[in-house]
Structure 1
Amino acid sequence: MPATKVTFVLPDIARTATGGAKMVFIYSNYLASKGFDVTICFDCQCMLRQFPIPSFVRRMASRMLVCHRPTWFDLNPKVKKKCIFKIDDSTMPESDHVVATWVGSARPVASLSSAKGKKHYFIQDYEIWDTPASVVEDTYRLGMSNIVVSDWLFNIVTHASGIEPRKVKNPIDDNIFYAEACTRYEHEVALLYHPGSHKGFADALDALIYAHELVPDLVVNVFGGPKRPGCLPDWCHYTRNASQEQLRNIYSRSSIFLCATVNEGFALTCPEAMFCGCALVSTDFQGVHEYADPTCSLLSPVHDSVALGMNLVKLLLDPKEARRLASLGSDYAKRECSMKRALEAINREFEVG
């Protein structure tokens, strides 16, 4: 009997780590391990357009990048990768299942012929930052099998479509993210740098500067995909394109993970850090409630960098309380972000035997 074929569609090539791409790679690896024939189609129609190079050169370079990326995730070699420049019947392989993974891919995937497979829509955020809410919600009504990664997205998609989606809450792999046997420093903090305004890094930086004035030996471990931002003070360490092993080490030696997100579907680095034993100090954005609550973390209003900084200082000056919240938070996140539960939901969605 031929293997079941599944095709995921991703934008660009995910040259740097992103939570959305990571989830697609995790499920691709899993399905390939179950004997599925998995292909990831990278839609590169906008890739490298910022460079003044001929179209044929841009396409050749895009194909090369697809061949050699991602470098930050260990993708199963059984997973096939394909570079495409539009999503239609001429570019997409025949499959049993095909999965749209962002709002811009929803309509093209929904329009594919039945030979391309049953249509699924993997909804990882409420993508209204550059698309009107009405347009985003229209994509929930295209007749595909909607999959969401959180309780709050479940409510939005159910309300918009009138049909309950499949919920596959983002899991954390505890074989990768766990507390290493290393020294955890009481005045060491970790956080993600991302230039997107919805990530709230400017607020995080204000909170860090406030904390550094009160705790001069503060050590800050920042990681991210872009080059080191010029706004970072010299007392901040920066790791670019950290591997999962490097992230685990950063989390394991830091006592606190700081997050200043404004609006985000999940913020995957928060539960990763909690799995590794960090206490969470965060803004009270919607996604944080998928793995934390006020009983096991310190949450402050979005854009209130003063309150965020005060919460950070509170734990820096009270390491016993930081350890208590870290322990409670780790237990809470491990319950909510269970890999076993997520894979059981994937089994149902793709009829894994």
Structure 2
Amino acid sequence: MVFMYSNHLASKGFEVTICFDCQNMLKKYHLPTFARKIGSQILVRHRPNWFDLDSRVEKHCIFGINEATMPDSDHVVATWVGSARPVAALSAAKGIKHYFIQGYETWGTSAGEVEDTYRLGMSNIVVSDWLADIVERASGTEPHKVKNPIDGDVFYPTGEERRDHAVAVLYHPGEHKGFSDALAALKLARERVPDLEVNIFGGPMRPDWLPEWCHYTCNASQDQLRSIYSRSSVFLCATINEGFALTCPEAMFCGCALVSTDFQGVHEYADAECALLSPVHDPESLSINLVRLLLDPSEARRIATLGNKRAREECSLPRALSAMEREFAHR
């Protein structure tokens, strides 16, 4: 989302700089500090390699968020809970302060500490209705809501053959993403659907423990993602706690039927009418819903059609871009 909005604002004449805080980058290699800094600068210069970032968007490799590392600007945006306090502490020379809240980031941080960041006096921007409720209750101020959009020029059915027994899944090591539950559901489903095709994609290298019957794409490009979604009948999501889960509506835009846990963020673009929802931490229920659609292609297509319509209504790109422009239009 940060990259997408940066591209749009740059196209509208805004001068945009993304500051990558690299103070923890490459630490696992136990390199000297100067070597880590050089390596981090090289990585930032050549990344992201999975997203077409506009060349007009500047990238800065910084080590810590403070007066010395951050450029003077009209606006400055904290993009996750760990950056909220350092950004809020910056002087007025660094710009009007905004806080882009994409989830209730309680993984690794207590709920009280997370909610404290909503009261730092920044302009809070949230991506969903349920986050808006939490932020307003914690801060006493109504946040600006800019629901996450999906770019229909990037995510659409490619026309390649959609396989009735194929399912797409995101791998993410974060416990809140619930991948262990997704894998358990897939193993159960495979007992009923022996020719199950599992198309997994993720940022990390393929985990050693992933079963050999799972196809895996590391750092999938947008073209690869579109293809994975378009040849899969179902997208499976086992998220436990997430503000939105962008891959779900991406897959719905590409024609997948959604089988998901009933986490809060999913209701931003789906309900029981256009998706099959299961309780959180219930792999057996997930597998039952998954098998139901895999063995009934006409029902999968019906759910996919309803889901596609709903996702396109709720995740409007023009609406979100206009709202973000308004957020940064005033100095």
TM-score w.r.t. structure 2 length? 0.98
1:38 to 10, 16, 39: 16
Alignment of 1:97-108 (within 5 A): 97-108=75-86
1:266 aligns with 2:266: no
1:49 aligns with 2:27: yes
Matched residue type, 1:180: T
1:291 aligns with 2:274: no
Deviation at 1:156, TM superposition (A): 0.3
Q: In the alignment, which residue of structure 1 is the partner of 2:299?
A: 321
Greater alpha carbon shift after TM alignment, 144-153 vs 43-52? 43-52
Greater alpha carbon shift after TM alignment, 32-41 vs 124-133? 124-133
Matched residue type, 1:311: N
Distance across 1 between alignment mates of 2:209 and 2:330:
48
Q: In the alignment, which residue of structure 1 is the partner of 2:160?
A: 182
**Superposition misfits of 4+ residues, deviation over 6 angstroms:** none
Matched residue type, 2:213: W
Deviation at 1:86, TM superposition (A): 1.3
Distance across 2 between alignment mates of 1:60 and 1:239:
29
1:227 aligns with 2:205: yes
Give percent identity, aligned residues only: 70
Deviation at 1:46, TM superposition (A): 1.0
SS at match of 2:185: helix
SS at match of 2:190: helix
Q: In the alignment, which residue of structure 2 is the partner of 1:132?
A: 110
1:74 aligns with 2:45: no
Q: In the alignment, which residue of structure 2 is the partner of 1:171?
A: 149
Q: In the alignment, which residue of structure 1 is the partner of 2:73?
A: 95
1:309 to 287, 294, 305: 287
Distance across 2 between alignment mates of 1:135 and 1:207:
34
Distance across 2 between alignment mates of 1:172 and 1:96:
28
Matched residue type, 1:136: V
Matched residue type, 1:48: L
SS at match of 1:42: strand
Matched residue type, 1:60: I
Distance across 2 between alignment mates of 1:226 and 1:44:
18
1:282 aligns with 2:251: no
1:213 to 179, 182, 191: 191
Distance across 1 between alignment mates of 2:69 and 2:315:
35
Deviation at 1:165, TM superposition (A): 0.4
**Cα deviations across residues 319-353 of structure 1 (Å, max 9, x unaligned)?**
10000000000000011111011012112111189
Deviation at 1:231, TM superposition (A): 2.8
SS at match of 1:37: coil
Structure 1 residues not aligned, in runs of 5+: 1-22
**Cα deviations across residues 173-232 of structure 1 (Å, max 9, x unaligned)?**
000000111111111110001111111111111111111111111111011111212232
Distance across 2 between alignment mates of 1:157 and 1:103:
13
Distance across 2 between alignment mates of 1:107 and 1:201:
31
1:344 aligns with 2:322: yes
SS at match of 1:77: coil
Q: In the alignment, which residue of structure 2 is the partner of 1:162?
A: 140
Matched residue type, 1:129: W
Q: Aligned pair count? A: 331
Q: In the alignment, which residue of structure 2 is the partner of 1:113?
A: 91
**Cα deviations across residues 31-66 of structure 1 (Å, max 9, x unaligned)?**
000011100011111111111111110111111111
Deviation at 1:171, TM superposition (A): 0.5
Matched residue type, 2:102: Q
1:203 aligns with 2:181: yes
Structure 2 residues not aligned, in runs of 5+: none
Q: Quote the RMSD (CA, aligned, Å).
A: 1.1
